[in-house]
Structure 1
Amino acid sequence: MNHLGKTEFILNGDMKKVIIVLSVPIMFNNLIQTLYSLADMYWVSKLGSIEVASTGFVWPVLFLILSIGMGLTIAGTSLISQYLGSKEKNQANKIASQIFLVAIILGLILSIIGYISTPYVIKLMGANSQLYSYSCKYLSIMFLDIPCYFIFLVFGAIRQAEGDTFSPMLLNIIGAITNVILDPILIFKFHMGIGGAAIATIISKVIYMPYVIFLLFMSLERVHIPIKFLRLKRNLILTILKVAVPTCIGQSFSSLGFIFLNSFIVSYGNDTMAAFNIGNNINSIVMMPALGIGTALASVVGQNLGGNRIDRAKLAFKTALCLSTIILVIGGSFLFLFAGNVIKIFVPEAKDMEVIIQGKYYLKIISAGLPLMGIFQVLIGIFQGSGHTIYSMIMEMGRLWFIRLPLILFFKNYTNWGSPSVWYSMMISNGIICLIGIIIYYKGAWQKKIIKMTNTC
């Protein structure tokens, strides 16, 4: 199906089929990325526990930087999809060109600043000795990947706005396979250690970057980047920032919130932290369909709002909500019934019985609330797709900073529930924020097209 057929499909096709066709490649891509991360961690773990700790230690720093690129991605998907729904491809090309320019400039600036400041950032985070050395080496190299990462995010945003979720998935698979192959070669064959893992990540993106650039500039029948539009336009940049900045803030503060959450969890002991990490890895696999549906929903809502098909945008939301809820009720029921068996796959029973006990309890509680996470992802998808990212920012920040963390503090100081209080806080915060999101949805402000704010210059 070509891009015009995709737009027609999104605007007029059977909605269940639309959501499923667009979300399946995203789900598969998320699965590939998860398997790649596990393989990557496997090879790094062969070096030692400090090397593994170093990659996890610097991840919040990387995520804070990457959230800026993710904000551009969401802005691009929202704006471009609405212009495509309005049959204004030329305007979509202009937005694509501006996002590309901003991504290049920001990517280079953040890469240089990050590379230079890495030792100071790691020291400020409290690392010393070998953890400091390995973290500096890994993070400084990973900062060199930022420009390529941002460019690929722009490509993904453009293709997703068109309804093409397959092309980004295919390139990600190529990159993941390349990375897995290069990891042992660079880490052990060339004796690069943890630096080899970072270099493998960069090469896995650089290898297909020329093809991505070619598609961005030369796919003339699709949304592309005409050379004549490669000049910064103040009014378009401001429009992009109005959509991107709330997303960047929401995701950045969400990342910081999870850092604080980890500090509360680890205060209950290493067994609790281990149970939380294992449970989250299991939970992330079950959550993949909901994440895919929420991401796919953004382009469906964007195109239908652009085409003044508000009723169809609402239908997309309700369809996505039903599909996500059904899938997570089934997945959650399975986890609830077999929590102990699933945990034992990842934990040796003879060595870590306490981790198994806590992990089983956590998995049962969190599995009962999985449908709430599906509702959360669908709400995020509709607010991001409509371009009213201030609402998704409210949900992301509010869930952690204004509900979950205060609840954890309250339960820790005024109850004797122990570590289960963290799990209860997580489920309660998900329920409250979903209720707030539903109220925002029914108020209807998200239905206003954001492309009215742009000029046609």
Structure 2
Amino acid sequence: MTKDMTTGNPVKLILYFSIPLLIGNIFQQFYNMVDTIIVGRFLGVNALAAVGSTGSMIFLILGFVLGLASGFSVLVSQRFGANDEEGVKKAVGNAIILSIIMTIIITIISVFFAKPLLNLIKTPHDIIDEAYSYIVVIYGGIFVTFFYNIIASILRALGDSKTPLYFLIVASILNIILDLVFIVKFSMGVEGAAYATVISQGFSGILCLIYTSKKFPILKLEKKHFILDKEFYKKHLSIGIPMALQFSITAIGGVILQSAVNSFGSTVVAAHTAASKVEQLVMQPSVTFGVTMATYCAQNLGANNIERIKEGVKKCTLINIAIGTIGGIMLIVLGENFVKLFVSNSDPNIISYATKYLTTVSFFFIPLSLIFIYRNALQGMGYTFVPMMAGVYELVARTIVAFTLPLIIGYTGICLAGPMAWIAASVPLIIDYHKKINSMNISECYS
């Protein structure tokens, strides 16, 4: 069911849209965590470190894919907000064609450079072979990731955050079953965990496509909608490429940080892997409200509702500040218990390193939560340059901290790399949003 976010109480609409999306994000994080938990408990610390060492590399490529999918959906959302049904269909058709082209290019490049990149970031020799076995399967399945996320992004652009949720729940359950089958029964190692992830996401994508084709008349496309239209594909690329680059620039910072983490050895890599999974799970509410802002702002821009955008962003900012505060307190109090889920022998060194990381970053969750709101608000309104540059500032800050502070204060310097990057990114985003929204008038809006 589509949802018009241009009328009605903004907070109620935001919550209505966000709750299914939040549940879906948690399930997505959940089945990523299940990979890690099963690998750590059944295959050991080295296997856990191998999977963890690929995290930043996976986000480097899949983040680019997610950025493209999200960017391609902005125009869909704007056309929907303007009640332009034919424009919605053309935007979707052009997005699908561009997605196919980009999938082929990205898959070839990522698979070819997987091993060289693992060597470049100094992946420890005792885990590099397992790391490669894992990541090459994930990269080979990029078409599955793009397939699901472009459908899910289009549905969210139309205000429907429930349909993707239903099929993610199915995928999560399937992923757990396949993890156990491939790793425990068939002894496929970390490669089995990768296959489980790809297959389960592909299954959810197929189900989502079948359901969507039957239940969403606005998405019943004809041959003419798949003809590349200069107006549409230029707009898609002008928004999608900067959003994809913003994701990838952030991911490059993660790759650089992973290189710094790798220099501390497999135990620290395993600890950082476990802690990062916990951090990502706790931050899902903030991520969710950010994604909601992209759809909300895009639809209201299409409807020329500038004051409504201001109201929604303001209230969502307050919500995310509260979420960041609660998330930080949770990590300080319960962080150690979360970490113990990932290691079967409760290795005291792993727990110590992981707990230190979680305690450190928890004090900086407010600037991180604000990044999600203002970055997505700007992107939803079609402004992509400053969000992309914020990723550059984040990259520079993370790189400087990761390779300077550890020389002085050891692993604590690694823990501070993320927080310093969040501050560097949040400040320009907040400033640019207020400049843009305060200078905006009807003539600058979508027409």
Q: TM-score range by the shorter chain?
A: 0.7 to 0.9
2:386 is the alignment partner of 1:391 = yes
Aligned to 1:89: 85
Query: Does the CA-based 8 Å contact 2:302-2:446 persist in structure 1?
Result: no
Q: 2:255 aligns with which of 256, 259, 277?
A: 259
1:451 to 1:145, Cα distance in 2 relative to 1, 3 A: farther
Query: Does the CA-based 8 Å contact 2:182-2:192 persist in structure 1?
Result: yes
Aligned to 1:443: 435
SS at match of 2:160: coil
> What amino acid is the match of 1:233?
D
Aligned to 2:17: 22
Q: Between 43-52 and 387-396, report the one with greater CA deviation.
A: 43-52
Q: Provide, for residues 319-358 of structure 1, a one-character-per-residue CA deviation record: whole Å limited to 9, x for no partner.
A: 1101111122233234445666666776799852x65555
Q: 1:406 aligns with which of 400, 413, 434?
A: 400
Aligned to 1:13: 8
Aligned to 1:172: 168
SS at match of 1:163: coil
Aligned to 1:35: 30
Query: Does the CA-based 8 Å contact 1:386-1:449 persist in structure 2?
Result: no
TM alignment of 1:236-247, pairs within 5 A: 236-247=232-243
Query: Does the CA-based 8 Å contact 1:335-1:367 persist in structure 2?
Result: yes
- How far the C-alpha of 1:149 sits from its partner, in A, is 1.8
Aligned to 1:380: 375
SS at match of 2:6: helix
Q: Between 140-149 and 416-425, report the one with greater CA deviation.
A: 416-425
Q: Between 240-249 and 325-334, report the one with greater CA deviation.
A: 325-334
- How far the C-alpha of 1:271 sits from its partner, in A, is 6.4
Q: Provide, for residues 18-69 of structure 1, a one-character-per-residue CA deviation record: whole Å limited to 9, x for no partner.
A: 1111111122112212221222233334245554444334444433332332
> What amino acid is the match of 1:11?
T
- How far the C-alpha of 1:412 sits from its partner, in A, is 5.1
Output the aligned Cα RMSD: 3.4
Query: Does the CA-based 8 Å contact 2:73-2:157 persist in structure 1?
Result: yes
1:381 to 1:333, Cα distance in 2 relative to 1, 3 A: same
Q: Between 354-363 and 137-146, report the one with greater CA deviation.
A: 354-363
- How far the C-alpha of 1:360 sits from its partner, in A, is 4.6
Q: Between 137-146 and 272-281, report the one with greater CA deviation.
A: 272-281
TM alignment of 1:270-289, pairs within 5 A: 276-289=272-285
2:152 is the alignment partner of 1:156 = yes
Q: 2:230 aligns with which of 217, 230, 234?
A: 234
Q: Provide, for residues 149-185 of structure 1, a one-character-per-residue CA deviation record: whole Å limited to 9, x for no partner.
A: 2121111111100111111111111112112112222
Gapped regions of structure 1 (runs ≥ 5): none
Within 2, Cα distance between the matches of 1:130 and 1:432?
35
Gapped regions of structure 2 (runs ≥ 5): none
> What amino acid is the match of 2:399?
L
Aligned to 1:434: 426
SS at match of 1:207: helix
Within 2, Cα distance between the matches of 1:103 and 1:448?
33
Q: Provide, for residues 361-405 of structure 1, a one-character-per-residue CA deviation record: whole Å limited to 9, x for no partner.
A: 54333222212211111112212211212222122221231x233
Q: 1:330 aligns with which of 323, 326, 329?
A: 326
TM alignment of 1:347-362, pairs within 5 A: 352=348, 359-362=354-357
Query: Does the CA-based 8 Å contact 1:103-1:147 persist in structure 2?
Result: no
Query: Does the CA-based 8 Å contact 1:96-1:224 persist in structure 2?
Result: no
Q: Provide, for residues 78-114 of structure 1, a one-character-per-residue CA deviation record: whole Å limited to 9, x for no partner.
A: 1111111111121111111111111122223433454
1:132 to 1:164, Cα distance in 2 relative to 1, 3 A: same
Q: TM-score, normalised by structure 1?
A: 0.85
Aligned to 1:66: 62
Within 2, Cα distance between the matches of 1:427 and 1:121?
25
Aligned to 1:316: 312
1:362 to 1:121, Cα distance in 2 relative to 1, 3 A: closer
Q: Provide, for residues 103-158 of structure 1, a one-character-per-residue CA deviation record: whole Å limited to 9, x for no partner.
A: 12222343345456656665666669875544444344333322222121111111
SS at match of 1:11: coil
> What amino acid is the match of 1:87?
N
Aligned-residue sequence identity (percent) comes to: 24
Within 2, Cα distance between the matches of 1:345 and 1:181?
18
Q: Between 245-254 and 38-47, report the one with greater CA deviation.
A: 38-47
Query: Does the CA-based 8 Å contact 2:80-2:88 persist in structure 1?
Result: yes
